[in-house]
Structure 1
């Protein structure tokens, strides 16, 4: 069973939300954050990317930078740019992209659920990235940014959410840059709060969709605080961390594609011949070709697009990892033909989120920066959940979720 609780969110006043809200900390670098926050003292980047308040080149992991985050968080509250709700609520956060809206519940997720596997992961985390976010949680004593969960489809929750979303939202704005819509309601009726808590208690698992490092950091800090508190009861606020939970059937995983700098010493002809050992190769011409389904890949090389279809017997349908197109392409093209053994560390490969479109792959190759591009059919939510349920880990750079959660709509304090 998944344990959740409502919380007293810290939020911007309605008239300031567009100034405060920002993209998540990990989708842009310091220079981009500096640019986006220019002239806006209320931008959340001053809390989640506080190095922008220091001279260019300041190490974002310097202790003074973390301290600045805490100072700014306090200042935002002192100035009324962030205000805590009087009572514990759940919240509805809806995102609209390309005319499609997904509705998430903002909740306090239970730290022990993360530790005991009720909250399921599908990615490995890096200790250095965990530690960075842990410092940020510790110094602010808050989850400034939410994590992104999926839950099994639930008609009761759909009905409760629908009851609120017909009302006037607290926030409703279009984000600059991507044009995605962000809408927000407060669930404050006690009977609805109780019903939501009960429905989650029936769920065998929740699934981290995006934000594995934030989840790990939040849970580890919560566990730390529990250990340090001699009067720990299990009811303290630090036993929970902020998550936005969406029904799995509303989520879309976008393709996550690969570009490679060279052909490992092969000519284009030799490369295509080597690939044809495990794939049926069809030339598609100069028009962009998008993978048509599972086990079909799109390849761009020397100004031409190719369809690659994995031959029967080259993958195992009964292996939740082996059946993934990311595994097939990693094993049979990137490793076997191009000699790329470790996707995490090999400098010859780069990854391009599908939100940029296949035109971005063409651009990277045509510019001469890269030699070949490989586009994959996206992973399904069912595949992701199957992998998490079986205790497996997705290969690196497999899932790309859009739209990303906007940060700054609500914050969860740990006390």
Structure 2
């Protein structure tokens, strides 16, 4: 049973929230980052990029300590304030394509992560887990929720819909034309109902944020071991999450670009592909696959459709049937010689929200030799792989919604 509890968030003041809220640090180009740091003194980026003040790149523990200092300054300057009582936070996003996401920001249990009540579908890199754990331990807060998904629940949906009738605590639109709304749920009876409903859900799934959740779990273990009076209710026993129903989860594919054909000519490459695929040259007309196990390939100015020969490829596990795994086992590894999907510099990933013509232009530029397009993973596939204890290949999913950092902050 999932333990999902309210918490006392540190939040920007209503008049500052649109200025504070920021995308994930890694999503900005160098030029975008420079512009926001220069022109917006209230951006959360000021906190996570403390070296900007000194015109110097700062890393490691020195950076973590300065991040902590900048955070405390935002509190001292009344840009941030903490709620007096534990709350759930209903959060709604309407993106520029009018896709609507509804969910609840709350604290999820690290013990549930350990006991596999919160299930994973991706591998994590141990080094990155430890680095972020050390960062969290020094700064003392988390500002970007892990995205969790749960089976649709009529009671929780009803509470969310009723809350929407009230004035939102926050309402702001980003430069990407996504509109964000936040409502604070502090009524004790409503809090009890929400908590009981989550407690009746046997399994919750990580949709996005595997490294963040793994790092929070490592932090929990460190602080638990260091606390002789540990009793299980300390803030470090939990990590901030955004929980949305499965029907609201939007999954896009991650497409692949490869820099060379592993020493093969175009003709040799196509002949080897023929072992596993029925191949049709579609010419200049972009081909977008619409079925599982169908792929689009762009090579040397032409689009191709690739249909998997099911009599040749054996599907024995839920992972075997995943298109990103099929692409790896039939083309990327045996023909193109790519073994390490995380670290091989010959492969690049483009999220499937971008037009298929991005694949074409990347290959036409000469930077890449071939591109592959897939259909998105289904929620049911994600869940089954998690249930089976298996792990997807890296960059199998591009999942929305993407929240802004700094809107709610969890201290421990």
Match of 1:34 in 2: 34
Runs of at least 5 residues in structure 2 that lack an aligned partner in the other structure? none
Match of 1:91 in 2: 89
Match of 1:313 in 2: 311
Runs of at least 5 residues in structure 1 that lack an aligned partner in the other structure? none
Match of 2:55 in 1: 55
Question: Does the 8 Å CA contact 1:143/1:218 hold for their aligned counterparts?
Answer: no
Question: Does the 8 Å CA contact 2:252/2:376 hold for their aligned counterparts?
Answer: yes
Report Cα offsets for 1:65-122 as digits up to 9, x if no partner. 1111000110011111111011110001112231110111101111111111111111
Instruction: Find out whether 1:296 has 2:312 as its counterpart.
Output: no
SS at match of 1:173: strand
Greater Cα shift, 66-75 or 138-147: 138-147
Write the distance in 1 (CA, Å) between the matches of 2:275 and 2:49.
48
Write the distance in 1 (CA, Å) between the matches of 2:11 and 2:287.
44
Relative distance call for 1:321 and 1:49 in structure 2 (3 A) is farther
Relative distance call for 1:317 and 1:102 in structure 2 (3 A) is farther
Greater Cα shift, 197-206 or 47-56: 47-56
Match of 2:2 in 1: 2
Write the distance in 1 (CA, Å) between the matches of 2:37 and 2:401.
20
Question: Does the 8 Å CA contact 2:173/2:179 hold for their aligned counterparts?
Answer: yes
SS at match of 2:79: coil
Report Cα offsets for 1:281-330 as digits up to 9, x if no partner. 11222132211111111101111111111111344445110000001111
Greater Cα shift, 282-291 or 188-197: 282-291
Relative distance call for 1:26 and 1:183 in structure 2 (3 A) is same
Match of 1:15 in 2: 15
Write the distance in 2 (CA, Å) between the matches of 1:202 and 1:81.
38
Match of 1:151 in 2: 150
Match of 1:363 in 2: 361
Instruction: Find out whether 1:116 has 2:115 as its counterpart.
Output: yes
Greater Cα shift, 147-156 or 218-227: 218-227
Across the two proteins, how many residue pairs are aligned to each other? 411
SS at match of 1:76: helix
SS at match of 1:365: helix
Write the distance in 2 (CA, Å) between the matches of 1:389 and 1:134.
26
User: How large is the Cα RMSD of the aligned pairs?
Assistant: 1.6
Greater Cα shift, 24-33 or 292-301: 24-33
Greater Cα shift, 99-108 or 123-132: 123-132
SS at match of 1:37: helix
Question: Does the 8 Å CA contact 1:119/1:206 hold for their aligned counterparts?
Answer: yes
Write the distance in 2 (CA, Å) between the matches of 1:117 and 1:51.
39
Question: Does the 8 Å CA contact 1:180/1:403 hold for their aligned counterparts?
Answer: no
Match of 2:179 in 1: 181
SS at match of 1:339: coil
Matches within 5 A, 1:9-408: 9-28=9-28, 32-55=32-55, 58-59=57-58, 61-97=59-95, 98-176=97-175, 178-408=176-406
SS at match of 1:158: helix
TM-score calculated relative to the size of structure 2? 0.96
Report Cα offsets for 1:216-247 as digits up to 9, x if no partner. 11121122212211111111122111000111
Question: Does the 8 Å CA contact 2:249/2:401 hold for their aligned counterparts?
Answer: no
